[in-house]
Amino acid sequence: MDIGGLETVVANSAYVAARGDVDGGSGGRDRKMRARLKLPHVLQLEEARARTLALHPEPSNPSLPSFERVCNLEPIGRQLFRQFLDTQKEFRPAGQLLQACEDMDTSEDSEKPEAAKKIVAEHMGDKNAASFCPFLSAAAAQSARANGSFAEALAETLEHLRAHALAKYVGSPHYLRYLQFKWLEMQPMGEEWFSDFRVLGKGGFGEVCACQAKATGKLYANKKLNKKRLKKRGGYEGAMVEKLILEKVHSRFIVSLSYAFQTKQELCLVMTIMNGGDLRFHIYDVDEANPGFTEARTLFYSAQIVCGLEHLHQHRIIYRDLKPENVLLDDMGHVRLSDMGLATELQEGEDKTKGYAGTPGFMAPELVKGELYDYSVDYFTLGVTIFEMIQAKGPFRYRGEKVENKEVKRRILNDSVAYSDRFSADCRETCEALLAKDPAKRLGFRDGSCNELKKHRFFAAMNWGRLQAGMLEPPFVPDSKTVYAKDVNEVGAFSSVRGVTIVEEDKDFYDSFSTGSNPISWQEEIIETGVFQELNLWPADGSLPNDLCKDKLPTSEGASGRSSACTVL
């Protein structure tokens, strides 16, 4: 074995061992760094309170924080708000109704009718029942009884809680506990919090390597952008656009941004790590004698891609670069969209944009022609991707085919797509609807959702609620002992950058880029790794923990939820 091969073996061994530690529980943590995740005393929370209110005020009452943000979108905020509801007799039925509807949405289709009947009986039936919800309108209750539709009831429940529970929650100990976690989330974040493992690949401005958060043990991918290379190639704007888009979206079907910080030489984007490789690799390289996927496997990945596209489009973002190599598998076999470098956000008041972006063979006709376009271009690329997953070649360009882009454009604009017997009638019908050359006739995003696409016969058997909750079993699970990446010596090294001087203006850009923790992703990490459960401790007798008592000042070692407590007045 040569030195390069030995280096890869050593790097892979350390990386696989780290993955095993994480799978086993709280392994991989650095005790000293974990000890720094300590909740502050209540007297230290004013900045967190003010910043939360300034960043996310409630539209109907700016003196309160956003109900949608702190009680629903943020994972820790959501959990603490639900815990608060459970302690309040007047709001407990509303919290129970929300949970029951969420459980029903993620249940098997055969179980949903019975679950719906139970919700109606417990929350809309007996007015004397402890779980009865008197704030629901007769129309909402009737819709639930007659059609099994709880959309109206859920909307009224959330509005009731916004109007009546939010102010009381903000005045509660549970909100103070939320602010304690926000304080932790706001602390400066840098390279000292992470351990790097092997290089996974490289982009135009630097390497992508596997890394581990020392305090929690969670694994991530660290995309490193060399500052000098970024400046020399005029990459500032593109890097910031990608970062802002990654910050704005949060879906289990899109690679998430967790941290953004800088080192002396690099800007770092710490993101979801996808250990299973990309779809292009699995289509062609796993079984070279039988490339491509079965229709069942294609259906699963396509449905998850649809959920990712829907989320982007609901945030007014056009992806523009969907293709198999940008769809990555995680350890469990679920897929996420990656690489937002070509994505663009429609500004308020705009419904279309213009600009040549994408990959030859995937771009929609209207984009190829230089016309204005909207989200529909992404559904054309979805049709190309589905076709390639099944046929193991593109509809307009074969793998390895030496053809000029001019000819590829001609095919996209003029040629019809030929389907083999590998496509069922339903799959072919969906592909044809996605690959319609006229965007007005193309299947896709309509009226704020992909419901029309989701109801197509190709997706008829899909339980979308369970899929979106991550509860469906993937058709393929990557080998946990395999590193789906090039050998370390094959990744290649960057040459040094010469003739570039970093000035104050550059440093200002680096500072604006380095925003630290991304709230939703950070909170998910804290919950998933068990840190939230370890820190969110409350005395069994109903009193307050010392760190929430203004008259119980912290000792030199800090306050602890297990120590003596003051009484709630």
Q: CA 375 to CA 390: how far, in whole Å?
A: 24
Q: How far is CA 346 from CA 309, 312, 343, 450, in A?
A: 15, 11, 10, 18
Yes or no: say if 228 and 500 are a contact pair by the CB < 8 Å rule: yes
* CB atoms near residue 534 (< 10 Å): 13
Q: Which residue of the set 321, 330, 339, 378 is catalytic?
A: 321
Interstrand relation of 327-329 and 335-337 (parallel, antiparallel or unpaired): antiparallel
- The one-letter amino acid code at 396 reads F
Which residues, including other chains, have CB under 8 Å from residue 377's CB and lie 6 or more apart? 318, 320, 358, 363, 364, 366, 367, 439
Which residues, including other chains, have CB under 8 Å from residue 178's CB and lie 6 or more apart? 70, 76, 77, 80, 81
* Token pair recorded at residue 132: 């009865």
Angle of helix 92-105 relative to helix 75-87, nearest 10 degrees, comes to: 130
Tell me which residue of 316, 432, 447 sits closest to 379, measured CA to CA. Answer: 432
Exposure letters 325-355 (e unless 16+ CB within 10 A, then b):
ebbbbbbebbbbbbbbbbbbebeeeeeebee
Q: CA 309 to CA 376: how far, in whole Å?
A: 10
- Geometric angle at alpha carbon 373, from 367 and 378, rounded to 5°: 75
* CB atoms near residue 307 (< 10 Å): 22
Q: CA 358 to CA 264: how far, in whole Å?
A: 33
What sign does the dihedral 555-558-562-567 (CA atoms) show? Answer: positive
Torsion (CA) 262, 266, 272, 273 in degrees, nearest 10? -140
DSSP, collapsed to helix, strand or coil, labels residue 421 as coil
Q: CA 361 to CA 384: how far, in whole Å?
A: 8
Assess whether 351 carries a catalytic annotation.
no
Tell me which residue of 491, 522, 439 sits closest to 199, measured CA to CA. Answer: 491
Q: How far is CA 544 from CA 242, 562, 567, 568, in A?
A: 43, 10, 6, 6
* DSSP letter string, 128-172: TSTT--TTS-HHHHHHHHHH---HHHHHHHHHHHHHHTHHHHHTS
Category of 232 on φ-ψ map: left (φ > 0), alpha (ψ -120 to 50) or beta: alpha
In sequence order, what E strands does 50-205 have? 57-58, 61-65, 194-202
Which residues, including other chains, have CB under 8 Å from residue 436's CB and lie 6 or more apart? 380, 442, 443
Q: CA 132 to CA 121: how far, in whole Å?
A: 9
* Token pair recorded at residue 211: 């890394």
- Which residues form the catalytic set? 321
